[in-house]
């Protein structure tokens, strides 16, 4: 989904959390998995002038648009976008200094099924994996999913925060941290609701004691470091 500028401003703490979590030096290589419109990849390059950033994206239209944006911004010497593969990362072990996958501010409509073990494989010892995701901790019916898609929420990962912690630990990552960013997302969704206040998707997400957002649907952040042998 695409957020309007005012909504993106509200979501700025998510990007700041990613930036802080990556803890990047002045140079190195970063992989942005499911890079969508390229917003995060280009932001990383702006923030850290010596950084080389590669975005992988399944959606060919978004990938082409992202590459065109990198050229227009004068970043094509440091930012590139390639087509992702569905369940693996086509690079050797230890290629990147960090990996980030971001589904809250600029999520792709075509997520891969690449797990944390594969993410950890391609980063160097001492490197960092940082993720954000939108999760459904309980099953969501097809009718509700359709209503949510109508208001822009067309992606949900069926998992819990505990699952993410377990997956990252099983991938061999240390210092694993999982945090709930849902309060930030709630504020952005209230802004978005102004477009059509009574749409069923907004009602289900935000209204009443059984509102989905903050209970069944959460916005999470997860981070882990690859140990130095």
CATH numbers and ranges of domains, the chain: 5-132+155-181+217-225 (3.40.50.150)
Residue that the structure tokens 């990252």 belong to = 168
The Cβ-side half-sphere exposure at 169, using a 13 Å CA radius, reads 10
- Ordered DSSP codes for 154-178: ---EE--HHHHHHHHHHTT-EEEEE
Q: pLDDT, tens digit, for every residue of 181-222?
A: 999 999 999 999 999 999 999 999 999 888 999 999 999 999
pTM above 0.85, yes or no: yes
What is the pLDDT confidence band of residue 26, given thresholds at 50, 70 and 90?
A: confident
For residue 46, what are its two tokens? 């702006």
Nearest-angstrom CA–CA distance, 19 and 215: 27
Q: In terms of DSSP H, where are the helices of 73-181?
A: 116-121, 142-150, 161-170
Nearest-angstrom CA–CA distance, 36 and 221: 18
Q: pLDDT, tens digit, for every residue of 141-171?
A: 999 999 999 999 999 999 999 999 999 999 9
In Å, how far from its chain's centre is CA 49? Answer: 22
């Amino acid at each position: 989904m695409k957020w309007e500028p005012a909504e993106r401003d509200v979501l700025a703490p998510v990007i700041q959390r990613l930036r802080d979590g990556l803890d990047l030096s002045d140079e190195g290589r970063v992989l942005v998995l499911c890079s969508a419109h390229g917003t995060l990849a280009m932001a990383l390059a702006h923030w850290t002038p010596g950084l080389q950033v590669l975005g992988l994206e399944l959606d060919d239209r978004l990938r082409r648009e992202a590459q065109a944006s990198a050229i227009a911004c004068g970043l094509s010497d440091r930012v590139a976008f390639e087509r992702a593969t569905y369940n693996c990362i086509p690079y050797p072990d230890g290629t990147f200094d960090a990996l980030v996958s971001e589904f809250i501010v600029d999520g792709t409509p075509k997520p891969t099924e690449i797990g944390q073990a594969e993410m950890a494989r391609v980063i160097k010892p001492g490197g960092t994996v940082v993720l954000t995701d939108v999760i459904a901790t309980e099953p969501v019916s097809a009718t509700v999913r359709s209503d949510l898609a109508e208001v822009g929420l067309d992606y949900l990962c069926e998992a819990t925060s505990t699952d993410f912690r377990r997956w990252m630990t099983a991938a061999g990552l240390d210092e694993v941290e999982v945090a709930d960013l849902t309060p930030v997302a709630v504020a952005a969704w209230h802004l978005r609701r102004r477009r059509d206040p009574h749409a069923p998707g907004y009602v289900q997400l935000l209204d009443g004691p059984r509102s989905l957002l903050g209970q069944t649907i959460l916005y999470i952040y997860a981070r882990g470091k690859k140990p130095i042998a």
